[in-house]
Structure 1
Amino acid sequence: MAKKRRGTAVAVAVATGVVGAGLALSPGSADASSGVAAWSSVQAVTDVRGVTAPNLLSPQLTQHPVAQGSLKLENPTDQVPYYGYLGDGTLLPDPALTQAPGVKVEASKTEPDKNVYLRLTGQHGADASYSYGTRFLFQGHEGGGSGYITRINLDADPAHRVTLLATKQADGTPLPTIDGATWDPWAKRLLLTAEKGNKGAVLQATPDIGSKVEDISFVTGRAGYEGIQNDSAGNVWMIEDTGGTSVATKTKVPSSFVYRLVPYNKRDLTKGGRLQALQVTSRRSGSPIEYQKVDAEHPTGGAFTDDQKDLSTYGPSLRTRWVTIHDTRSDTSGKAFDANALAKAAHATPFKRPENGQFRPGTDFREFYFDATGDTNTEATANAGYGGWGTLYKLTQRDPSSDEGRLSVFYAGDKEHTGLDNVTFLDRTHVAFVEDAGDTLHAQRGALDSGFVFDTSADYSHGRQPVRFLGEGRDPSATLDNMLSSAGGGFQNDGDNEITGIHVSNGDPGPGGILGARVPRLFHDGWRMFWTQQHGDNTTWEITPADR
């Protein structure tokens, strides 16, 4: 780990600010000192109730807003007038209103979530006479109760900066709130996920204004899908976050699965395919590690078994295989189905709230890293050895379509490194995981969320720790929301800021641009880095070298 130095403070714009045209940055050739390995750690930002705080970045880095919640869309509607706010209230709390159930003292915040960077030609917007450029950042919106898709036009001026692509599906059904996102280069569609349990969905959407959005859950099933990622064979990997039953003290029973869709036609996912779920074999019994229902005989379900301990602590790798849970050639109904229920019935292995994953570049899609968020509570009795602090996993296979592989714990979380959620690779061996710990855990540990750089060639089993490259602060709007939500009374917005949408890409929309296909050359050759400070001001940032 590099010697700790004082981080660079970057103030967050207030909710009524405007992003200027000069902040649409061009990818340059500047480097961040000697590369990712030279980034220095910063301190976590202290959680002081009612106090705003700027973000801290490694001194080698700086950041610039590319859009924020109060930026008006170029094609606003009454329902969705702004990038990150609905039109159901004022952007800051209205003092004339009294907080109460059903009363919105301020506009609902829509939480722009995962980012997808693409270089595309021939894109259009609301202004037929305007040239929108070739560099775009796409996101679905997770909060506020109304889902929609936006596109940040990185080459555009403020009036044309953000385009509303869709609020409804092609059949007129309103979009669900959206979490995960990726680009499928064969289908030439954005793939978007709705993290809503057995009412969740996978949607596909065209990338231009007036986007055609279709629910393909008759192929992918319904589950609490969040992370979504293609591999080089055209398979679609999906990570599910379903909370699970709470048992013991603040502990959730592992109830979520890792899925792989093997499509029959990778250029058209509506042609169907086989949905599979990951199954891990117990090193103790030789049987699958499977979901354990909470009942009188098993009052804590599978939360405290020896197998769960093996899945949560450093040790030998465990054998894996993919089990098919649904096939559209067998089920020709064309109807959506409950993927989580089928995974349980097929004896697939549940994890403790997995959320996102990505293939390590330079491995020909043979190494897949994913996280399990854990219980996000210092009082969880599963924290000590049973995954309560969260876990990072490495899955290795001979190739991305192999049915068998090996799973090992790459990093076991602790109080200072927990709630790990979004992920992106920075180069061949360095990967960034960022926290979504939540207000309760922030207060318990006295620290807000952080982003960490892990070295995949390192051994973390003997106390080594990652580099904290980002200490997230709390912007003015999030500070207000934290105070309002803690007061009760049905306040509809989330409190503290959350790190999401961490994303490194060169924007290549072809198969060679799939995340993991090429080794990133961060800040070189068009490789760019973005993240979103969700909640509060809902600012989306681009990270660049400090010396640019």
Structure 2
Amino acid sequence: MSPVTEKILAASAIMLVLGATHTQAQPTAQLTHIAAANPKVAGFVAPNILSKELEQIVWASGAMKLENPTVLIGFYGYNNDGPLVPVPGAVQVPGSIIEASKTEPDKNTYLILHGQTGPDSNYDYGSHFLFQGHEGGKQGYITRINLEADGAHRVTLMADKDINDKPLPTFDGSTWYPWAQILLFTAEAGKNGGVWQATANYPSVVEDISGILGRGGYEGIQADSDGNLWIVEDVGGKAGTVNKNAKQPNSFIYRFIPKNKHDLRAGGKLQALQVASKRHAGPIVFNPADPDGDILSLDVKDLHSYGVTFDTRWVIIHDTDVDGFVPFDANAAAKVKKATPFKRPENGVFRPGTAFGEFYFTETGDTNKNTEAGADFGGFGGIFKISQKEPSADSGRLAIFYKSDVAHTGFDNIAFWSKNKLVVVEDAGDSLHTQRNALDSGYLFDINTDYAKQVNQPIRILAQGRDPSATIDSPLTDGRPANGFQNDGDNEITGVHISDGDPTVHGILGAKNPRPFRDGWRVFYTQQHGDNVTYEIIPAKQLHASNRHEWNDQDAD
């Protein structure tokens, strides 16, 4: 047994209380608020800071060698096209590669699967696994972190080509679809993006199913209890002519209704969310000839106003029975069918205990402190809630749950910590980090809190730091595109995933109330860019010896 595994097992046996409260006006919380984000200081590395009740352990880092490398792909987070850090005296100029291309492991999916194999036919890989796609580098690939394996067998390359021997695209989102016993991966690549399905066994058999689900800037993907797939698109819009620091809403929320949930290749209907305007008859739509008008439209302001609830309906934008199985541009189809655009929504999750009747999704915004849209017109994004009587309902309601400001913006990954607590993390980007002198943070929201009252603020449970590699890379990104540097800079938080690993239909996210650190529930995330480290969050070590009470998450049940 590896030392890391021993530490996990020891941590899982500890019972403790998270009794500390947030100093701001908040309902009682079990995780202590971190007072400030880490500042961005040129040349300085900063450690991650977690709420004092938590700590983290490393499961994989970018420099960890794959157990079955290829000529191009040798590491968890690097291609084989250069040194892992620049050699002394190296100068980045166009056409040069002074450090290896980083492959950026992204969204995590945790599963308990029995009988899994790997490249080493004589090795027992265990039954606990963390899957992820990679969104950077020369091409995409799928890896599996073997949580019960030794270092030599810790990370397995599951696939780098599809069934047609075509290199995989870079992947962002992932989820498990239990009816068909497949993993789904999304590519946020516009007209080259889409959805790929992959078997969980080694080697993974991967197939492009974008002729059914469409091509788009897809990122978040989740299944509901009816087997429908909800897809969140992240496509940036045009900057305004007048509002040069703001972008036009240009992304959509989709729902796919399969003909056969045991085989998605059978086809189905792709729908997009349409929101009725409060200002005029008809829906809120994309206006291609007027980016500035959309950026500061009263419709967009209403969408980002507390206390305003909108009627929604799903409009069919593609039906394989009518339109066939040729890959199509979902974003363009959504615009033709008058679906409603948002400002870069990235991920979404179902609230547990609602029978999949509530869906929360993040909106990134403009990631620019100087956006002319400001908070009132969605310049900093937010968190939205879709409410429906049932997951397959044709209509529902939409309201903003949290309107972001410059201190809480660039929201990306999202996961329910418990039935009433929601974790949301930032991906603000280097420019905004510099503008506000603050790196990314992870926040805990209470679903029962009224955030329209400014006294109520989310609890910062993670102040993301900056690792050595990201500290080296950050100034190199300042010279792009002129210097040709291919990697990203500051770290971001991604892959936040809270699951008990249940691979049955009863284990899809939203079906059970999460219970972190109890009953097999585990919490993972990746510190993307830089060293690309995937962590598991566990109860804090300093409480182990002094506190033997049970973890007290008041709304876990």
Aligned twin of 1:225: 218
Give, in angstroms, the shift of residue 145 of structure 1: 2.9
Instruction: Quote the Cα distance in structure 1 between the aligned partners of 2:248 and 2:179.
Output: 37
| 1:442 paired to 2:433 | yes
8 Å CA contact 2:190, 2:216 repeated in 1? yes
The letter of the residue matching 2:410 is G
Q: Which residues of 2 match residues 421-440 of structure 1 at below 5 A? A: 421-440=412-431
The letter of the residue matching 2:366 is D
Paired residues, number: 526
Aligned twin of 1:70: 63
Which SS does the other structure have where 2:105 is aligned? coil
8 Å CA contact 1:61, 1:545 repeated in 2? yes
Residue 392 to residue 299, structure 1, CA distance change in 2 (3 Å)? closer
* One of 244, 254, 276 as aligned partner of 1:259: 254
| 1:530 paired to 2:520 | no
Aligned twin of 1:485: 477
| 1:209 paired to 2:202 | yes
Residue 55 to residue 91, structure 1, CA distance change in 2 (3 Å)? same
Which SS does the other structure have where 1:478 is aligned? helix
Q: Deviations over 1:204-248 (max 9, x none)?
A: 001122110000001100000000000000000000011011111
8 Å CA contact 2:5, 2:147 repeated in 1? no
Give, in angstroms, the shift of residue 20 of structure 1: 5.8
List gaps (5 residues or longer) in structure 1: 1-18
Residue 392 to residue 144, structure 1, CA distance change in 2 (3 Å)? same
Residue 31 to residue 354, structure 1, CA distance change in 2 (3 Å)? farther
Instruction: Quote the Cα distance in structure 2 between the aligned partners of 1:325 and 1:145.
Output: 33
Instruction: Quote the Cα distance in structure 1 between the aligned partners of 2:33 and 2:238.
Output: 37
8 Å CA contact 1:292, 1:302 repeated in 2? yes
Aligned twin of 1:4: none
Instruction: Quote the Cα distance in structure 2 between the aligned partners of 1:20 and 1:90.
Output: 28
The letter of the residue matching 1:495 is G
Residue 96 to residue 50, structure 1, CA distance change in 2 (3 Å)? closer
Query: TM-score normalized by structure 2?
Result: 0.93
Aligned twin of 1:320: 312
8 Å CA contact 2:248, 2:291 repeated in 1? no
Give, in angstroms, the shift of residue 486 of structure 1: 1.9
Q: Identify the range of structure 1 (498-507 vs 29-38) with the bigger mean alpha-carbon deviation.
A: 29-38
Aligned twin of 2:444: 453
8 Å CA contact 1:24, 1:156 repeated in 2? no
The letter of the residue matching 2:62 is G
Which SS does the other structure have where 1:415 is aligned? coil
8 Å CA contact 2:192, 2:215 repeated in 1? yes
Residue 421 to residue 380, structure 1, CA distance change in 2 (3 Å)? same
Q: Which residues of 2 match residues 235-250 of structure 1 at below 5 A? A: 235-247=228-240, 248-250=243-245
Q: Which residues of 2 match residues 349-428 of structure 1 at below 5 A? A: 349-428=340-419
| 1:50 paired to 2:33 | no
Instruction: Quote the Cα distance in structure 2 between the aligned partners of 1:34 and 1:402.
Output: 39
The letter of the residue matching 1:359 is F
* One of 277, 296, 306 as aligned partner of 2:298: 306
Instruction: Quote the Cα distance in structure 2 between the aligned partners of 1:149 and 1:207.
Output: 10
Q: Deviations over 1:296-339 (max 9, x none)?
A: xx35141111110011121221000000010000022x210000
Instruction: Quote the Cα distance in structure 2 between the aligned partners of 1:186 and 1:535.
Output: 34
Q: Which residues of 2 match residues 276-295 of structure 1 at below 5 A? A: 276-293=271-288, 295=289
Instruction: Quote the Cα distance in structure 2 between the aligned partners of 1:28 and 1:301.
Output: 54
Aligned twin of 1:337: 328
Give, in angstroms, the shift of residue 279 of structure 1: 0.4
* One of 83, 94, 102 as aligned partner of 1:101: 94
Give, in angstroms, the shift of residue 32 of structure 1: 5.3
8 Å CA contact 2:239, 2:291 repeated in 1? no
8 Å CA contact 2:430, 2:489 repeated in 1? yes
Residue 191 to residue 28, structure 1, CA distance change in 2 (3 Å)? same
8 Å CA contact 1:25, 1:154 repeated in 2? no
8 Å CA contact 1:29, 1:525 repeated in 2? no
8 Å CA contact 1:21, 1:158 repeated in 2? no
Q: Identify the range of structure 1 (155-164 vs 29-38) with the bigger mean alpha-carbon deviation.
A: 29-38
The letter of the residue matching 1:250 is N
Which SS does the other structure have where 2:445 is aligned? strand
Residue 521 to residue 384, structure 1, CA distance change in 2 (3 Å)? closer
Instruction: Quote the Cα distance in structure 2 between the aligned partners of 1:161 and 1:255.
Output: 40
Which SS does the other structure have where 2:65 is aligned? coil
Instruction: Quote the Cα distance in structure 1 between the aligned partners of 2:467 and 2:277.
Output: 45
Q: Identify the range of structure 1 (257-266 vs 298-307) with the bigger mean alpha-carbon deviation.
A: 298-307
Give, in angstroms, the shift of residue 249 of structure 1: 2.5
Which SS does the other structure have where 1:243 is aligned? coil
Instruction: Quote the Cα distance in structure 1 between the aligned partners of 2:339 and 2:51.
Output: 40
8 Å CA contact 1:28, 1:525 repeated in 2? no
Give, in angstroms, the shift of residue 100 of structure 1: 1.1
* One of 489, 492, 501 as aligned partner of 1:507: 501
Aligned twin of 1:155: 148
Instruction: Quote the Cα distance in structure 1 between the aligned partners of 2:522 and 2:3.
Output: 19
List gaps (5 residues or longer) in structure 2: 20-27, 545-557
Which SS does the other structure have where 1:540 is aligned? strand
8 Å CA contact 1:24, 1:66 repeated in 2? no
* Pairwise CA RMSD: 1.4
Residue 31 to residue 280, structure 1, CA distance change in 2 (3 Å)? farther
8 Å CA contact 2:191, 2:217 repeated in 1? yes
Instruction: Quote the Cα distance in structure 1 between the aligned partners of 2:399 and 2:487.
Output: 37
* One of 532, 535, 541 as aligned partner of 1:541: 535
Q: Deviations over 1:367-387 (max 9, x none)?
A: 000011000000110114100
Q: Extract structure 1 runs of 4+ deviating beyond 6 A.
A: none
Which SS does the other structure have where 1:329 is aligned? helix
